[in-house]
């Protein structure tokens, strides 16, 4: 894949959809691709937020690590962004994310992500919306677990 493909992938991502192409190019230049095999970990709960990832190909499962073991929370797929909340807040990752099958993601270093956030203030609003969607899904998941 090329730099142009990375720019196009960022443009198709809901979080970055409204970001100017010139800024997306800067973001793509500051990023690199990572490839994971099935079962490999993209992010680990409790680890410091070093980067934000855009899933380009494949799927990953999101787990919450508890004293009783892992609890599956969600499945993410191509076009989804992970790690942005921790990167923004400077807080350790709240969940572990593992590749289901082969997975390719674009890794954006935290500092690069924060720089683009300063240049594109409405990106913070998009992150807030995404956080709201995730909270809604989590509430539904917890309600389903409580009903069992």
> Which domains does the chain show, CATH number per domain?
1-147 (2.60.120.10)
Residue 85 has pLDDT above 80, yes or no: yes
At residue 21, the pLDDT reads 84
Who's near 40: CB < 8 A, 6+ residues apart? 98, 99, 103
Contact between residue 57 and residue 13 where contact means Cβ atoms under 8 Å apart: no
Contact between residue 102 and residue 57 where contact means Cβ atoms under 8 Å apart: yes
- Is residue 52 classed as helix, strand or coil in its secondary structure? strand
* Mean pLDDT of the region 128-143: 76
Which range of 14-18, 54-58, 134-138 scores highest in mean pLDDT? It is 54-58
* Mean pLDDT of the region 108-120: 87
At what angle are helices 110-119 and 122-147 packed, to 10 degrees?
120
User: Which has more pLDDT, 111 or 144?
Assistant: 111
* Mean pLDDT of the region 52-66: 94
* Mean pLDDT of the region 61-75: 90
CA–CA separation, 94 and 65 (whole Å):
9
Residue with tokens 């073991």: 69
At residue 1, the pLDDT reads 55
């Amino acid at each position: 894949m090329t730099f142009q493909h990375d720019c196009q992938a960022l443009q198709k991502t809901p979080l970055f959809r409204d970001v100017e192409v010139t800024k997306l190019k800067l973001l793509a230049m500051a990023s690199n691709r990572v490839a994971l095999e099935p079962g490999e970990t993209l992010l680990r709960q409790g680890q410091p937020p070093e980067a934000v990832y855009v899933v380009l190909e494949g799927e990953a499962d999101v787990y919450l690590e508890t004293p009783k073991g892992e609890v599956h929370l969600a499945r993410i797929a191509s076009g989804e962004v992970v790690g942005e909340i921790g990167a923004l807040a400077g807080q350790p990752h709240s969940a572990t994310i593992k590749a289901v099958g082969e997975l390719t993601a674009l890794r954006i270093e935290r500092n690069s992500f924060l720089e683009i956030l300063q240049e594109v203030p409405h990106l913070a609003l998009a992150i807030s919306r995404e956080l709201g969607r995730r909270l809604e899904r989590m509430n539904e998941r917890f309600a389903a677990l409580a009903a069992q």
